[in-house]
Structure 1
Amino acid sequence: MNMTSTQSLRAQTCPESICVHTKNEVFTCSRWEDITKRAAAWLLLQGQPGDIVALTAQNRWETLALFCGAVRAGFTFMPLDPRMTHAERAERLQLAKPALFIGEDDLSQIGGLIQKTAPSSYCHPDSEAIFYSGFTSGSSGTPKQFARNQFSWLKSFEAGLADFPLTGQETAVIAGPIHHSLFLYGMAFALFSGQPIVLMDKFLPQSVIEALNTTESFVFYAVPTMLEAIDQQGGLASAGLVFLSGAGWTAERKQQWMNSYPKAPLYEFYGASELSFVSYMTPNDYKKRPASSGKPSTGVKIDIRSNGKSLPAHQIGTVFVKSPMLFSGYVKQGLCQLDLGEDEFYTVGDAGYLDEEGYLYIVGREQFMIITGGVNVYPEEIERILVKCPGVELAAITSIPDPWLGERIVCFYKGKASTTALRAFAKQALSVQKMPRRWIQVNELPLTSSGKIARKEVQKKAKEALQ
C-alpha cells in the first residue's frame, strides 16, 4: 500500500471536499490528487525511484506537494531547516548526496513547473521503500542521517487511530515548521485519514488562535512553547484536540491547560525520530499519572534494562522498545544500518522506568547525563523541578569540567526570580549531588526548532562564562 492511496480514493468519492488550505490557495481533493500526480511526474523526469530529493522546507503547498509526489513516485523526501547556516546545510548535503536539491528561492519556480507537467498515474507499490530521511545529532554533535520506510508510518497511523479519539472529520491545523517530523507527520496523517489541512506559513500566536477559534473541530499539533504563547495571548474558545509532543512540559502546566481549556484537552505522545510512537497520554492518564509519559502505544512493548538485564518496576535503566514503527536505520555509505538485538528491541539511549501499572517515566537522555562526584545526574530531572519555582520561566542545566567532581553542574535560567530565591527553592527539592554549583540568569535561552533546549549551545555558553 502506498501512503497516498487513501488520498486517491477520496479524490474519486468526494472530489469537491477541501483537502489543503494555505494562505493563498485552496485545494479540493480532486485538485490535490492532480497536483500530487504532477509532482510525482516532475520528480520522475529529474531522477528515478530511490533517489533523495532534499529541499529547504518552507510551510508552503509546494513543499507538501513535493512530499506527496515523492511518496507516490518512490523517492526519499528530505526536508531541511530553512534557518540552517550555509555550512550546516552543506554538511548534511555532503552526507546524504541527494540527486536533487531545491533551495528556498527555487520553491516557487518548482511549483510552477509542477503545474505545467503532465500528471503521472505511476504509484510506487513497495511499502518497504524508504520515503523519508532526516538528521538527528549524535552524541558527538555530528549529524546522523536516519531513514524511514512507508510501512513504519502506516503502522503509526494505525496506532494513532487506535490510541487517540480521531475520526478524520477534524481539521488539522499545522503551524509548526514542516521540516520537523512532528508537523510533517501531522500533515501525512491528515492526508491519510481524510482530515482537511490548514497549513500556516509560520507560527504567529494570534493568527493561530484565530484559525483554531474559527474551526468547528480541530486537531492542533504543538510543542510546549507554542501552547505557552497561545495561553499568553488569551487562549482558545473553540473545541478540538491538542496533540502535544517535543520538549517536556511540567505536569502542573499541563493540568493548568486542561483546567483553562476543557474543550481543547491534551493528548500527548513520547517518541523519537527513530522510534515514532512509544507511549501516549490521555486526559484520564493526566489525572492518574500526571508525571508519567503514559502507557505503551498500540503494538509497542517497553523494557527497562541495565547491563542487558530487565529491571523491575521503579528501577531506572535504559528504555528499550520493540515496535513495528521503528525507523529503517542510520544511513552509512548509502545503506541503512539498524542495530537490533536478537529480540528486536531497540534504544535511543533514553533513561527511565516503569511503574507497577506499566506507565513509563522518562528521566533523561543518557547522552546528556552528567557524572558529578561519581553520581549520574540527568539535566531534565533538575529542570523539571526548577521551573516550579515562582518567577522561573525556563531552566537549562549543563556542566563544565571540574578537577575534583569530574563535572560541575551549572544552571542557566530565564525569569524574574533572584538567584538567591532559586537556590533556596532548589535546596528544598534537590539532593546535594544534584544541586547546581553556579546559577546564571539570562534574558533568553537557546532553543531548537522544536522548542527543546539546545544543549550544546548552553554548554558552550557555560564554558565561555566560567572557564
Structure 2
Amino acid sequence: MPLRIAIEHHARQRPDALAIAISGHRLTYAQLHNRIARLNTALAALPAQARDTLDLPQDGRLYAFAAGNHPAAATLLPAALATPHAVALLDPHWPDALHHQTLAKLPPDAIFCLSNQTGLIDAARNLGVPAICVDTDAFEIFLGDDPSTLPWTAPTDIFLVGFTSGTTSQPKAFARARHSWRASLDASRLAFALTDQSNTFAPGPLSHGVSLYAMAETLDLGAAFHTITKFDLPEARRAMAEARRIVAVPTLLGTLANGSAQEQIVEITTAGAKLDPALLTRARAHFPRARLHEYYGASELGFVSINTHGRQSSSAPAHSVGHPFPHVSLSLRQDGAEVAQGTPGTIFVRGDLAIDGYLWGGRNSGFRREGPWATVGDIGQLNTDGSLSILGREGGMLITAGHNIYPQEIETALTDIPGITGAVVLGHTHASRGQELVAILQGDTPLDEIRSRLAIHLPRYKLPRRYLGITKFPLTQSGKIARATLDTWLKEDNPNLVPLASAS
C-alpha cells in the first residue's frame, strides 16, 4: 500500500509507538502523521516555481532539503513519501558553487537548511526561494497548526530528486516515481525478512540512498527507525541498543563490529561496496544472531542482486553479490550481444525499479537504456550457479602489457588473503606497459605471503607490480573508499602510502 496509507494506519492503530529517533529527538507515529499533515498544508500554500525539467501534480510542491541528519529530517523526508510533494535531496557537504548551480537548474518552491549554510541561503534569496532554517524557530513557525487531510498520490508522481556523481565529478540529477519504491518495498520486505519488529538503526547520511530507503522500509512496516546527526561511536552504540536491525555501508558496519557482541541484532543489510571476507567474519562474530543481507544495486537501477550470509554459509559464493532480486532479470553483454556464462560483460537489468533517465548530467554517463534493459556500466560475470560477480565499471578497466584488467577481481582475491582487511587496485602510468597495477592494502600480512597466495589464483599479468600499505583509507561522505583521493596520493607519492618490502 502507499506509504501515506501505511503511516495513517500506524498512527491510528499504534499512536504512541516510536516512529523515528534522531540523536534523542523522538517522534511517535501520531506525532509524525500530525507533522506531515501540517507540512502538507504549509507547502501547498506556497506559490509554485516555473520549471522545465520536472512535472508535479497541481497541488504538489518541490522542496530542497540540505540539512543532512538534522532531526527535522524526521518530518521533511517522510513527507515526500506520503504527500503529493517532492524533495530534492541536496548533499550538505557540497561546495556553495555546486549548490548554486543545482538550485538554478531546478528551482525549488522552498529550501530547508541550517542557519550556518549562508551560501545556500544567499543563493535561495537570489532566486526568490524561501529558505527555512530548521535549527531555528522558523521551521516550527512554517509548519503552523493546521494539519490537513493527506491527499491521494498517483503512482507515476515524482517524490524524489536524487543526485549521483557516478563516473563524473559533477552530480547527475534523477527523478524517482512513487511506483518504483512501492515495488522495491514489496521486494525488500521479503528479501530482507522484515516485520513490524524490525526496528532499524542506519547510521549513515540520509542524503544517500541506503539510509533514506531504510527509513522508508521501516515506516512502511510500522517499526522504529533510528539514526544519529553525525557519526559518534558511543552514540551509535546507544541507538543500536534499541534496534534489531542495522543498515549500513561496509565501512560503517566495520566500525560498529567492535567491542562486546550485540545479540539483539538479528538482521543486517549492507550495500554500497563489496563486503570483504575479513569483515564478514568479524560481523558474524560480533552479531552472532544476525543474518547479513548483502545487496548490489544503484541509485539509477534499484535492487539488482542479493547474497544472504548466515552463521556458517551463504546463499551464493561469498565472493559474489548473489542472485538476482525477485522480478529482476540480468543480461551481460559486449557490443550489444549477450555473452556466455563466465565471460565478462556489461550488466544490464530488466525490471520495474530503474529510473527512466537523468534530468541532467547524463551525457557520457554509465547509465543508459537498450529497450527494456538498463545499465550503469558495471562489468560483471555470471558464475556457474547463476550468481553475479562484479569486476569493475566501463571506463575503469585497466590495460597493462596489452591485457584488459578489471581491478575488482584482483581486490577480491587480495581480501580473501588472511590478514588483509582492505584492498584497492589502481593503474599507474608506465612507459612500456601502458599501466602498471598498484595494490594499496590495509592489514598486516607479509608481502611474500601476499604474492605467493595471489600467484595461486591469478595469472601473472593480473599480479600487481607494486604494493603499498595504508593505515586508514580515505572515505567519501557516503562512507565508501575515496578512490580518487588514493589516485591523487599515488601520483604525488603521498606519505600515507608506504611501500611494502619483501622479507627476502
More helix by share: 1
Q: Identify unmatched segments of 5+ residues in structure 2.
A: 49-55, 116-132, 495-504
Say whether residues 1:89 and 2:95 are aligned partners. no
The residue number in structure 2 matching 1:14 is 14
1:340 is aligned, of 359, 369, 372, to 369
The residue number in structure 2 matching 1:276 is 302
Q: Distance in 2 between matches of 1:10 and 1:34?
A: 12
The residue number in structure 2 matching 1:294 is 322
The residue number in structure 1 matching 2:86 is 76
Q: Distance in 2 between matches of 1:104 and 1:417?
A: 46
Tell me how far 1:420 sits from its aligned partner: 5.9
1:225 is aligned, of 223, 248, 251, to 251
Q: Distance in 2 between matches of 1:330 and 1:162?
A: 29
Say whether residues 1:179 and 2:179 are aligned partners. no
Q: Distance in 1 between matches of 2:415 and 2:309?
A: 22
Contact 1:275 1:326 in 2 (8 A): yes
Identity of aligned residues (%): 29
The equivalences for 1:28-427 within 5 A come to 28-48=28-48, 49=56, 51-105=61-115, 106-109=133-136, 110-215=138-243, 218-283=244-309, 286=314, 288-332=316-360, 339-342=368-371, 344-417=372-445, 422-423=450-451, 425-427=453-455
> CA-to-partner distance for each residue in 1:195-244, whole Å, 9 max, x for gaps?
122232233333333333344xx121011112211222334132421111
Return closer, same or farther for 1:312/1:9 CA change in 2, 3 Å cut-off.
Answer: same
Contact 2:83 2:153 in 1 (8 A): no
SS of 2:370's equivalent in the other structure is: coil
Tell me how far 1:417 sits from its aligned partner: 4.8
Q: Distance in 2 between matches of 1:255 and 1:419?
A: 22
Return closer, same or farther for 1:96/1:382 CA change in 2, 3 Å cut-off.
Answer: farther
Return closer, same or farther for 1:385/1:8 CA change in 2, 3 Å cut-off.
Answer: same
Tell me how far 1:26 sits from its aligned partner: 2.6
Contact 1:43 1:70 in 2 (8 A): no
Q: Distance in 1 between matches of 2:432 and 2:101?
A: 38
Q: Distance in 1 between matches of 2:438 and 2:110?
A: 44
In structure 2, give the amino acid aligned to 1:374.
Answer: G
Contact 2:418 2:445 in 1 (8 A): yes
> CA-to-partner distance for each residue in 1:7-31, whole Å, 9 max, x for gaps?
0122222222222233343322211
Tell me how far 1:39 sits from its aligned partner: 1.6
Tell me how far 1:187 sits from its aligned partner: 0.3
Q: Distance in 2 between matches of 1:47 and 1:301?
A: 43
Return closer, same or farther for 1:21/1:31 CA change in 2, 3 Å cut-off.
Answer: same
In structure 2, give the amino acid aligned to 1:8.
Answer: E
Tell me how far 1:186 sits from its aligned partner: 0.3
Q: Distance in 1 between matches of 2:298 and 2:46?
A: 32
The worse-fitting range, judged by mean Cα deviation, of 257-266 and 224-233 is: 257-266
Q: Distance in 1 between matches of 2:98 and 2:420?
A: 33
Contact 2:65 2:113 in 1 (8 A): yes
Q: Distance in 2 between matches of 1:253 and 1:28?
A: 35
The worse-fitting range, judged by mean Cα deviation, of 353-362 and 388-397 is: 388-397
Return closer, same or farther for 1:6/1:345 CA change in 2, 3 Å cut-off.
Answer: same
The worse-fitting range, judged by mean Cα deviation, of 225-234 and 319-328 is: 225-234
Contact 1:58 1:104 in 2 (8 A): no
Contact 1:41 1:117 in 2 (8 A): no
Return closer, same or farther for 1:450/1:425 CA change in 2, 3 Å cut-off.
Answer: farther
Tell me how far 1:381 sits from its aligned partner: 1.8
Q: Distance in 2 between matches of 1:265 and 1:454?
A: 28
Contact 1:55 1:104 in 2 (8 A): no
SS of 1:340's equivalent in the other structure is: strand
In structure 2, give the amino acid aligned to 1:361.
Answer: S
Give the count of matched residue pairs: 462
Q: Distance in 1 between matches of 2:289 and 2:440?
A: 36
Q: Distance in 2 between matches of 1:319 and 1:16?
A: 46
Return closer, same or farther for 1:328/1:41 CA change in 2, 3 Å cut-off.
Answer: farther
Q: Distance in 2 between matches of 1:443 and 1:361?
A: 28
Tell me how far 1:78 sits from its aligned partner: 2.1
In structure 1, give the amino acid aligned to 2:172.
Answer: K
Tell me how far 1:69 sits from its aligned partner: 2.4
Q: Distance in 1 between matches of 2:403 and 2:61?
A: 47
Q: Distance in 1 between matches of 2:447 and 2:493?
A: 16
Q: Distance in 1 between matches of 2:449 and 2:350?
A: 44
Tell me how far 1:374 sits from its aligned partner: 2.3
Q: Distance in 1 between matches of 2:287 and 2:83?
A: 42
Q: Distance in 2 between matches of 1:167 and 1:70?
A: 23
Q: Distance in 2 between matches of 1:37 and 1:395?
A: 48
TM-score (normalised: structure 1): 0.90
Q: Identify unmatched segments of 5+ residues in structure 1.
A: none
TM-score (normalised: structure 2): 0.84
Cα root mean square deviation, aligned:
2.8
Contact 2:380 2:391 in 1 (8 A): yes
SS of 1:35's equivalent in the other structure is: helix
SS of 1:368's equivalent in the other structure is: coil
Moved over 6 A (4+): none
Contact 2:227 2:239 in 1 (8 A): no
Return closer, same or farther for 1:54/1:219 CA change in 2, 3 Å cut-off.
Answer: same
Tell me how far 1:259 sits from its aligned partner: 4.7
Return closer, same or farther for 1:446/1:89 CA change in 2, 3 Å cut-off.
Answer: farther
Contact 1:35 1:114 in 2 (8 A): no
Q: Distance in 2 between matches of 1:375 and 1:76?
A: 47
> CA-to-partner distance for each residue in 1:19-61, whole Å, 9 max, x for gaps?
2233343322211100011122222233444543222232233
The worse-fitting range, judged by mean Cα deviation, of 60-69 and 96-105 is: 96-105
Q: Distance in 2 between matches of 1:51 and 1:462?
A: 46
Contact 2:42 2:143 in 1 (8 A): no
The residue number in structure 2 matching 1:25 is 25
